[in-house]
Amino acid sequence: AVHSSSLLASSSQFSSPLWQPQHQRQQVSQYHTSTRQDRAAAIMLGFGCLAAVSFAGAQGVKAYNEWKASIPEVDEEAEKQQQAAEQEKAQQQQQAKSEPKKETASGSRENVFKEWFGVGVGSKYYEGGFEDSMTRREAALILGVRESSPASRIKDAHRKLLILNHPDTGGSTYMAGKINEAKELLMKGK
C-alpha cells in the first residue's frame, strides 16, 4: 500500500497545473523549433534592414532631386546661337569643298589622319603623293630617317623597306623605284 501511494503521489505531481508548487507540478516535454528570443531578434533584424533600405532610397531620391535642380536650363538664345554656329560651319565646309585645291611644289601637305582622327594619329607615316623632283626632305620621309642620318642608317632603312615592298614578293615597282631614288639622293655626298 505504501508503494502504490508513492506512485499516486508521483503521478499527481506530473498532472498538476503550473500555479502549483514545483514539487507538485507534472513534468511535460515541449518541443519548439526556436525560442521566442531568437524569433524576436530575427524580426528586429528584418525591421532594421527594412529601415536601412528605405533610408537609402529616400537619400537617393533626395540626391536625384538636388541634381535635377542644379542642372541649368538651356536658354533659347543659346540654342539659336548654337544652331547659327553649326550652319556657319556647314557653309564653310561646303565652300571649302567647292573651291579647287591649289597645291604648289613647296606648299605644305595636309595630315588627313590628324584631321579625321585627332592630334597625333598617323603622324609617323608619310602622307604620300610624290613631288615632281624629289627633295632631300621627301627622301628622308620616304625612308623614315633624318636628312642628316649616317650612311649605315640610310642603307639599313632602305634594305628594310625593299624587303617589305619588293616587286618579286608582290610589292609595287613604282614604290621600289621611289625607295631606290630616295636612297640615292640621301647617299649623294656621303
- Quick: pLDDT tens for 74-133: 677 778 888 888 988 888 888 777 765 555 445 566 666 667 766 555 555 556 677 888
- pLDDT computed for residue 12 by the predictor: 47
At 130, list the grid cell.
Answer: 610624290
CATH topology for the 131-187 domain: Helix Hairpins (1.10.287)
CB 16 within 8 A of CB 4: no
Single out the residue of 73, 186, 174 nearest to residue 139, CA to CA: 186
- pLDDT computed for residue 127 by the predictor: 61
Single out the residue of 144, 150, 129 nearest to residue 182, CA to CA: 144
Residue 146 CA to residue 186 CA, distance in Å, equals 10
- For the chain, the structural domain boundaries read 1-29, 131-187
What confidence tier does 28 reach under pLDDT thresholds 50, 70, 90? Answer: low
- pLDDT computed for residue 64 by the predictor: 95
Q: What is the DSSP letter of 173?
A: H
pTM: 0.36
Tell me the β-bridge partners of 16: 25
158 or 167, higher pLDDT? 158
CB 137 within 8 A of CB 176: no
Find the mean pLDDT for residues 143-154. 92
- Quick: pLDDT tens for 42-79: 889 999 999 999 999 999 999 999 998 888 776 777 78
Residue 30 CA to residue 140 CA, distance in Å, equals 99
DSSP-derived 3-state class of residue 16: strand
